[in-house]
Structure 1
Amino acid sequence: MDIAALVSWVVTALGGFVLLARWISHGGLRQQQTGTTRFPAPLVFGHFLLAVAGLVVWLAYLAADREALAWTSFIILVVVALLGFTMFARWVPAYRTAAPGSAGEETTPAERHLAVPVVAAHGLLGAATLVLVLLAALGVGGS
């Protein structure tokens, strides 16, 4: 279960990195001043940095096999999931409004350019990772 959680986490992180790079490349940071984006930078980078921190704690758990590290990683992952759900809730209205390219880049939110399959896969894999980490912390499937 431990390794399955790790694999799921890494694949989820790769998808998240793609989403982050796309958001930045379409002006997400520049749009902070104009309020065009619905994603505040602290939300985006908080989600990213906490996910990385949780993964580092999970790697420490795998190396040290300390139950406290597994639970710490799970708690961090719960916060990451809440931030991710917040971004998803903000993304849906942005995605439904204008089509990319129908207005200038300065008026189209950067998150409008995020690919639906990547967003869906990232969310589903994130949920799977959360469940796998919980099961591993509970000791299901051995360590």
Structure 2
Amino acid sequence: MDIAALIIWVVTALGGFYLLGTWVRHGGVRQQQAGTSRLPAPVIFGHFALATIGLVVWIIYVMADKTALAWTAFGLLLPVALLGFVMLARWIPVHRGRATAGTAPADTTAHEAEGAVPAERHFPLTAVLAHGLFAVTTLVLVLLTSLGIGGS
């Protein structure tokens, strides 16, 4: 189960890296000063940093098979999940705003050119849902492995 958790975690990380890249590419960092983005940079980068550190700890756990490392990785995943839920809650109104405005992520309007459209509006729904689903799966697999359920 530890290898399955590792694979799912890597897939989750790739999806998260895609979302982070999309946010940065569409001016999310610059929008922090203007208040346009609803996703605070410290939350985004904290989520990314803790998830990356946790993944490294998990890789070391897979190689060393030390239970303390598994629990450390799980402990790191808890604030990662909390930050992820915070970002999801702040992203949902932005996504709903796009749906009610009838604009697609690829649309470019004069309003968007001015940076008034949050960068996170460009997140594809499928990418957000897949990232969340893989993240929950990762959390469960890491917990089960830490508990010694399912073998390692």
TM-score bracket relative to the smaller structure: over 0.9
Pairing partner for 1:104 from 94, 101, 112: 112
Pairing partner for 1:129 from 121, 138, 141: 138
Q: Percent identity?
A: 61
2:11 aligned partner: 11
Number of residues of Structure 1 aligned to a counterpart in Structure 2: 143
Q: Which runs of 5+ in 1 are unaligned?
A: none
1:92 aligned partner: 92
Amino acid at match of 1:127: V
Q: Which runs of 5+ in 2 are unaligned?
A: none
1:116 aligned partner: 125
Distance (Å, rounded) in 2 between the aligned partners of 1:85 and 1:59: 24
User: Residues 1-143 of structure 1: matches in 2 within 5 Å?
Assistant: 1-98=1-98, 99=103, 100=105, 101-102=108-109, 103-105=111-113, 106-143=115-152
Distance (Å, rounded) in 2 between the aligned partners of 1:60 and 1:30: 36
SS of the aligned residue for 2:29 comes to coil
SS of the aligned residue for 2:117 comes to coil
| TM-score normalised by L of structure 2 | 0.91
Distance (Å, rounded) in 2 between the aligned partners of 1:58 and 1:79: 16
SS of the aligned residue for 1:12 comes to helix
The Cα shift of 1:84 comes to 0.4
Amino acid at match of 2:39: F
SS of the aligned residue for 1:108 comes to coil
Q: Once superposed, what is the RMSD of the aligned Cα atoms?
A: 1.0
Distance (Å, rounded) in 1 between the aligned partners of 2:14 and 2:63: 22
- What is the CA deviation profile of residues 101-126 of structure 1, one whole-angstrom value per residue up to 9, with x for unaligned ones? 35324100000000000000000000
SS of the aligned residue for 1:30 comes to helix
SS of the aligned residue for 1:36 comes to coil
